[in-house]
A and B are shown apart, each in its own frame.
Chain A
Amino acid sequence: MNEPRTPERKRVNRRDVLKLGVAAGAVTALIAGRPLLAGTAHDQPAASAPMRHGDENGHGDFSGTVGDVDLAQFDPTQFLTHFDWGQETNGEDGLSVRAWEITALEKEIEIAPGVFFPAWTYNGQVPGPTLRCREGDWLRIHFTNTSTHPHTIHFHGFHPPAMDGIEPLIGPGESFTYEFKARPFGVHPYHCHVMSLKKHIHKGLYGTLIIDPPQGRAPAREMVMVMNAFDTTFDNENEVYAVNTVAFHYMKHPIQVKVGELIRIYLTNMTEFDLVNSFHLHAGMFHLYRTGTSLDHYELTDTVTMGQGERAVLEFTLDEPGKYMFHAHQSEFAELGWTGFLEASA
């Protein structure tokens, strides 16, 4: 699987003759002084006016992909607001014990319409389930590996080294229970930590753990976004970028919100191969809480740039009805799938 999957198809520029930078006009002049070849070269329009991007299916937006994925398999709109609080039982000091079943399994997922990726997943989805708890809760994550490679779950945050998800490796058919107290409050990624890391992470073994402060946060419309990308040709460069896996999903299906309501985004960067990724909000600004570990905001901004594994809580309201774009401010990522809309209505 590691051989280059992009066969070189060099085009016809045989006879390097042609790299010659002499004006094409010269030949035209030679040919009977009449601009016979003019149409092929000069007096060219600077670009080609009559085309509008996206007019093929009429929505004139920036969604570059054609068609839509099978949402019955994985719907990023549902993933966005789905928080898994686990199996809750009462523990000591009025705190809860929360238990989850997480299974590593191999699955082919659709990351852009018609483009399939042989993913490694937690519970059959990429990103893995968003785990939610309160600071101080006792977390019990029962992990089973049904795939063909050893995997682990490595959580960010405080916990004993034995629960760090580096050792032991959980081989195919084996299972392990990670147990620790949830702290500190904030938003933390979790991911597989088996060598080779790049491979195990970018194949899809990551997700978000949200630990609420003991007193909770202000009521808000909450959503989780994992910035991720996929290297479909396995050459250590990504072909598809997104939040929550599917390129341009929130472009084709804008996120519905209300004017004036508090919006809170738990944002994580799990992009492999590229050093940074970013989130940029149009027509508005957000309060940034880096790592979500403080209740005092870090700044008011419209762009946050993150390295791999960095995360933040974003809080804002949208004041007017309409479509608010958000995307990576790395234009390349934006045009390769990482662009979406929030649609505010009164």
Chain B
Amino acid sequence: MFVEKEVQGASSRLPAWLTGLIPLLAIGLLVLLFGVVNPLALFQNNLPPIESLAIDRVRVVEGGFEVAVLNSGPNPVRIAQVMVDDAYWQYSSEPAGELPRFGRATLRIPYPWIYSEPHRILIVTQSGLTFEAEAPVATLTPRPGAREFAGYGLLGLYVGVIPVTLGLLWYPTMKRMGRKWLGFILALTVGLLVFLLVDTFLEVLEVGAELPGVFQGVPLALFAALLTWLAITALSAVQERRHAALGGTRARGVFLATLIALSIGLHNFGEGLAVGAAFALGEAALGSFLVIGFILHNITEGIGIAAPLVPGRKGEGEPAQAGPSFWTFAGLALIAGFPAVLGTWVGGFAFSPLLGTLFLGIGLGAIWQVIVEVTRLLQRYAERESAPLVSWVNLAGFLVGLAVMYFTAFFVKF
């Protein structure tokens, strides 16, 4: 007690900025101490340095390969030799010499690669460690040109915009089916979103695990998801208050539809990345079968987006509402579908596992929050109809949503 008082007395005489500086100074001293004295020398019994190289990208070019590498380990890395298909091979490095931590280099390896065959590249470091890069199916990596942009863009349209648009075309039918079926349709939306949530989560685990350890891929994605969820929650709260003030249910419906479109868009971005990257790697002998599969798979997404736009109640004193305009639908289709185009471009020309992980994480958080919002809408609807939230009709809708996504995924997963 007495001592504590003494310390308090001493420190309270110093200005706050100085006391704040003291721990920093202490850290500086400690770092200096480690640098000069190296108290851990005790543990370093001439151990070889732990080298770690991450392969950023393998480009198959005319007459060889270009491999972009990143030193993702704590120690500098010196690349000594390069093997291709278990043979030492000439190469040049840009820049040459030692790679510092987080340093990047591009290796150019002249090699008579064989069209459509896999080639394995081993990078041998000074200590004899080997790091593997792969061209799974050798074919020229696309260079960004007008033709390629158009091609990849069209691929994205097929995977994203077109199916969502087709799904939205069911809006008039859904509207005519009326409120009796609204619960079913909303529950179906929840079902499809839950499928996307699981799918996106699994992809986060997969892509995140490919990242070099130093980037902590999976936690990064989960934090992105958490932040996205919180941001959308905050945004929804603001919107809620505004809508309450204005008293419009249609505006609320459009807002929710936009949220759904946005989160589905983020998911489709991930899908586009996969398709684009696969094409670039030459792995996708992507047939029309597959493209049609994506169309079928993603049509359901359009239904989900349209669901909150279906008017819940008619003639409650309100004037008969005009449906959302054509432009609203066009906008929703773009928000949900166009990210797939962006995804195929990024995946095709500049795939970065880091960005991929980040976007998938954002998608994950968005989908989660949208599930919450749609469920809330469903609950409100159920309350008005004095029906339980998990009624047989709603359960059936949920099941149909899951089942449609699950079975149409047969076309796109192998």
Residues of A within 8 A of B (CB): 5-24, 26-27, 29-32, 36-37, 39-41, 44-57, 63-66, 111-118, 230, 232-233, 239-240, 247-248, 332, 335-337
A45 and B203 CA atoms in complex are apart in Å by 35
Q: Known: A14-B203, A47-B114. Is A20-B63 also a contact (CB below 8 A)? A: no
Complex contacts, A15 vs chain B, CB 8 Å: 203, 274-275, 278, 412-413
Q: Is B277 an interface residue (CB 8 A)?
A: yes
Interface of A is mostly: loop
In the complex, the answer to whether A24 meets B140 with C-beta atoms within 8 Å is: no
In the complex, the answer to whether A54 meets B140 with C-beta atoms within 8 Å is: no
Q: Which of these binds chain A: B1-9, B129-137, B217-225, B387-395? A: B129-137
B409 to chain A, nearest CB (A): 10
In the complex, the answer to whether A112 meets B130 with C-beta atoms within 8 Å is: no
In the complex, the answer to whether A6 meets B131 with C-beta atoms within 8 Å is: yes
Complex contacts, B55 vs chain A, CB 8 Å: 9, 11
In the complex, the answer to whether B289 meets A232 with C-beta atoms within 8 Å is: no
In the complex, the answer to whether B140 meets A115 with C-beta atoms within 8 Å is: no
A166 and B112 CA atoms in complex are apart in Å by 50
In the complex, the answer to whether A114 meets B126 with C-beta atoms within 8 Å is: yes
Q: Is B198 an interface residue (CB 8 A)?
A: no
In the complex, the answer to whether A64 meets B148 with C-beta atoms within 8 Å is: no
In the complex, the answer to whether B279 meets A40 with C-beta atoms within 8 Å is: yes
Q: Which of A37, A49, A239 contacts B128 (CB 8 A)?
A: A239
Complex contacts, B86 vs chain A, CB 8 Å: 332, 335-336
In the complex, the answer to whether B114 meets A46 with C-beta atoms within 8 Å is: yes
Q: Which of these binds chain A: B250-258, B280-288, B326-334, B397-405? A: B280-288
A168 and B79 CA atoms in complex are apart in Å by 42
In the complex, the answer to whether A24 meets B124 with C-beta atoms within 8 Å is: no
Q: Known: A114-B80, A233-B128. Is A13-B285 also a contact (CB below 8 A)? A: no
A240 and B128 CA atoms in complex are apart in Å by 9
Q: Known: A48-B62, A54-B90. Is A27-B288 also a contact (CB below 8 A)? A: yes
In the complex, the answer to whether A47 meets B287 with C-beta atoms within 8 Å is: no
Residues of B within 8 A of A (CB): 48, 52, 54-55, 58, 62-64, 78-83, 86-92, 110-116, 122, 124-134, 136, 139-142, 147-148, 150-152, 154-155, 158, 203, 206-207, 210, 274-275, 277-291, 351, 353, 412-414
Complex contacts, A57 vs chain B, CB 8 Å: 90
Complex contacts, B140 vs chain A, CB 8 Å: 39-40, 44
A51 and B111 CA atoms in complex are apart in Å by 7
A331 and B309 CA atoms in complex are apart in Å by 68
Q: Which of A24, A31, A114 contacts B81 (CB 8 A)?
A: A114
Complex contacts, B114 vs chain A, CB 8 Å: 46-47
In the complex, the answer to whether A30 meets B291 with C-beta atoms within 8 Å is: yes
A selection of 10 A-B contacts at a CB cut-off of 8 Å is A6-B132, A8-B132, A11-B133, A14-B207, A17-B286, A18-B278, A18-B286, A47-B114, A53-B89, A64-B81
In the complex, the answer to whether B274 meets A17 with C-beta atoms within 8 Å is: yes
In the complex, the answer to whether A51 meets B285 with C-beta atoms within 8 Å is: no
A316 and B287 CA atoms in complex are apart in Å by 60
Query: Which 9 pairs from chain A and chain B are nearest by CB?
Result: A232-B128, A64-B88, A22-B287, A114-B80, A335-B87, A36-B151, A51-B63, A18-B278, A18-B283
A45 and B64 CA atoms in complex are apart in Å by 13
A56 and B83 CA atoms in complex are apart in Å by 15
Q: Known: A17-B413, A32-B154. Is A336-B88 also a contact (CB below 8 A)? A: yes
In the complex, the answer to whether B132 meets A9 with C-beta atoms within 8 Å is: yes
Chain B residue at minimum C-beta to C-beta distance from A27: B286
A24 and B281 CA atoms in complex are apart in Å by 13
B197 to chain A, nearest CB (A): 17
A242 and B299 CA atoms in complex are apart in Å by 61
Complex contacts, A10 vs chain B, CB 8 Å: 210
In the complex, the answer to whether A230 meets B128 with C-beta atoms within 8 Å is: yes
A25 to chain B, nearest CB (A): 9
Complex contacts, A52 vs chain B, CB 8 Å: 110
A23 and B288 CA atoms in complex are apart in Å by 9
A309 to chain B, nearest CB (A): 25
In the complex, the answer to whether B130 meets A239 with C-beta atoms within 8 Å is: yes
In the complex, the answer to whether B110 meets A24 with C-beta atoms within 8 Å is: no
In the complex, the answer to whether A36 meets B154 with C-beta atoms within 8 Å is: yes
A26 and B81 CA atoms in complex are apart in Å by 40
Q: Known: A12-B351, A30-B288, A47-B113. Is A19-B124 also a contact (CB below 8 A)? A: no
In the complex, the answer to whether B112 meets A51 with C-beta atoms within 8 Å is: yes
A240 and B88 CA atoms in complex are apart in Å by 9
B33 to chain A, nearest CB (A): 30
Q: Which of A36, A55, A233 contacts B110 (CB 8 A)?
A: A55
Complex contacts, A65 vs chain B, CB 8 Å: 81, 88
In the complex, the answer to whether B148 meets A37 with C-beta atoms within 8 Å is: yes
A254 to chain B, nearest CB (A): 18
A49 to chain B, nearest CB (A): 7
